[in-house]
Structure 1
């Protein structure tokens, strides 16, 4: 299961939807209750409780709230006898309580009242970062940097713009990707001069996912006959970005491996792009690269704000119903989309790619490149439903498929193909990250 749950339904009328969050520390468990759609502010919770609380793991929450005993009157009474933290926005009566990871819900007529109940304000109505819309990304990032002056954020950004740690061949790959007239004749010599990149290209071409007929015998054979210019240069860029920034260690527990998620998103974006029937059809190679780098800003956040990244991970775990950019905006004042899009633009990658990454949550802001942002938006939501991407599971907006000139059948077929190739795609992602991974295919 990825980090993310179905977005909560907000009841109308007199009944109020209340979310349960199970927290713990060395002293034991604590139950926080707050309005269902709000963000739980961990700092305020810890201040209210006088303890260093953190959310339990998603699988532990599912196990705890899945107990049959809790479905009895006695079990529910025992649950509500735990130390309780109640947000002041919770009304006195008529609750519909829900726990998002397990999906368990129950009605409660009156607000719990006993000696272990503490009332306080820790629910924040998180918004999408609308205050950043219309501002330059430089201004947004400088505002965020102003909050973390002790981290030398500006210097770190300048280091990233310099593409630290890249070999000469990888610098050439970046330049080729940004050059509209580059072709295979330009690419093959760059690959051949770099033994590491040559080995990776041969490995990609020989992988089960691409299923090349016959044995791949040379770099030219791998690039020209099997992979092609776009795929080689896109995969090489992914390798380059992975070398610049390592995956942070303390990621949200239960999340999908970063590079698994990237490869699945890239593959699905490419499949969907091939089916688009608009007059100006999207370039499948740009769609693939946008998918591969769609979450690159997440790696950058871990690089820029390491002391805060663990805290951000706990916030994401405590608020699985919210878009992760909403949580990032509250905790860091900047989102992965903003910082990822900004860096890709400054690295002179194609505008189709940087705009799609920057505007993947709000595709209409991508201007002439909306089709790429919409493909990313669609791929992400579809993959969440399959357990292959992180984030809350929500319905596809009405009209999105029509805007892309895609049918539900095309999307279903693309997803079925992807799931059939899942194990081969996971093998492909090992070129980017050799770490342990697990994928839950439904």
Structure 2
């Protein structure tokens, strides 16, 4: 039986029945839940808190975020979350991250969100990455006997909420972000490019003139047009040539907008999350999104922009919190098996003034794009690209980014490395395995050129 030894002994001693649900080994708890196909509103989890008096367990729904202020008022203690490694040390007979929410097995005092105690069925970690366990309501209440019941979570605390519950909107989080932090405005040149391209009357000459006003941007656009990616046989002497002979208006506008917008952020170049890898990931994703759009008969220019700008949330986190960003960068390199969401929670979960970052870099990027008044599809693609089960507005653009990222994981490109099945988003877009193989072939054919282009944009 793939269970924590302590949990198995505790449940056996209490005579508490449960069922075991097999999951794919090697993933983290969040991925195991998502891939299980089980209703997320049935899943519960444990958050571990600590102060000088010791550790307390808080049990709450999977999609809810703990309200630390409520916990502190309830207990009259200044409890703070344990980091991931600290929690793993406490659960020394469990796989990392698979922490059963049954505190009695570890002789921990337990607080439980009151709604949990009325659940008809609950699914939870059992200590192993090979299975989850499920209990009927009566068994769950026996397992949590003695726990203190209270309202412990923020209402609508996540951007993903169980069905029937109200989710926090990007507008609500954006309002809080603007109050708490000085968010960078869109750089003046990027704003001028965006305004120009929003006009149906804009000409290639006007775009070229605007770009050529900035020598650095001009050089980068010319390097882009001259790259082997396009194999243009003639001479390219000006941005006007790049627009009219090689790239076209939309592609020049979009890459120029991306280059100019990145100047808003002061982020180090090195590491898996640094600027060098950001550009590499973004260019690959933009290329694939454009190819996917062609197969879906969608606007390939807008698809390119969605792919290019979808990860700006990481840059914003790096800009606002350079110390924490370095920690996140190091954790990403040391823990490729963990989701970015779990690493972000580990870095920001114990910082009292930075809880808002726990919505994830995707949502943060979507918020920034909305504040910059970028197209709604770009806002949504950035904001929910971490949500593999997303259904809603601009869904096709989100799916294009998700599919591109799944294909890029196979090449070790991006900030996530837990492979999911790319056929799922592909099927929702009306694509099949033959399409996926052609996309893999297309990106492989230009990988050297995309790598060279990414290096040129960061040099």
Q: Same fold (TM over 0.5)?
A: yes
Partner SS for 1:432:
helix
Distance 1:387 1:185, change over 3 A: same
Contact conserved, 2:211 with 2:256, CA < 8 A, in 1?
no
Relative distance call for 1:140 and 1:315 in structure 2 (3 A) is farther
1:193 matched to 2:213? yes
Aligned to 1:226: 246
Cα distance, 1:226 vs structure 2: 0.3
Measured in 1, the distance between the counterparts of 2:388 and 2:129 equals 34
Q: Hey, what's the Cα distance between the residues in 2 that align with 1:359 and 1:231?
A: 24
Residues 155 and 15 of structure 1: CA distance in aligned 2, closer, same or farther (over 3 Å): closer
| Corresponding residue to 1:409 among 423, 427, 434 | 434
Per the alignment, residue 160 of structure 2 pairs with: 130
Q: Counterparts in 2 of 1:25-424, with a 5 A limit?
A: 85-86=92-93, 89=100, 129-131=159-161, 134-141=167-174, 154-157=180-183, 160=184, 162-163=185-186, 166=187, 168-179=188-199, 181-248=201-268, 251=271, 257-276=277-296, 281-313=297-329, 316=332, 320-329=336-345, 331=349, 332-362=357-387, 367-396=392-421, 399-424=424-449
Distance 2:219 2:293 in 1: 29
Q: Matched residue of 1:383: which SS?
A: helix
Match for residue 458 of structure 2? 433
Shift in Å, 1:142 = 5.3
* Structure 1: gaps of 5 or more residues: 1-11, 22-33, 56-81, 99-126, 146-151, 435-442
**What is the TM-score with the length of structure 1 in the denominator?**
0.63
After superposition, the Cα gap between the structure-2 partners of 1:133 and 1:372, relative to the gap in structure 1 and judged at 3 Å, is farther
* Deviation at residue 256 of structure 1 after TM alignment: 8.2
Q: Unaligned stretches of 5+ in structure 2?
A: 1-18, 34-44, 56-81, 107-125, 131-156, 350-356
Calculate the aligned-residue CA RMSD, in Å.
4.3
Q: 1:105 aligns to what?
A: none
Instruction: Number of aligned residue pairs: give it.
Output: 336
Q: Is the CA contact 1:192–1:219 (under 8 Å) kept in the aligned structure 2?
A: yes
Helix, strand or coil: the match of 2:359?
coil
Between the aligned partners of 1:369 and 1:97, the Cα distance in structure 2 is 34
Structure showing greater relative contact order (alpha-carbon pairs closer than 8 Å, 6 or more residues apart): 1
Alpha-carbon contact 1:256-1:388 (below 8 Å) kept:
no
SS of the aligned residue for 2:289 comes to helix
Q: Secondary structure of 2:194's match?
A: helix
Cα 1:189–1:153 change in 2 (3 A) is same
Deviation at 1:251, TM superposition (A): 4.9
How far 1:298 sits from its partner (Å)? 0.4
Deviation at 1:224, TM superposition (A): 0.5
Q: Deviations over 1:366-416 (max 9, x none)?
A: 744211111001111111122122314333266532331222212211221
SS in 1 for 2:267: coil
Question: Residues 201, 19 of structure 1: CA spacing in aligned structure 2 closer, same or farther, 3 A cutoff?
Answer: closer
The 2-side partners of 1:394 and 1:271 are apart by: 21
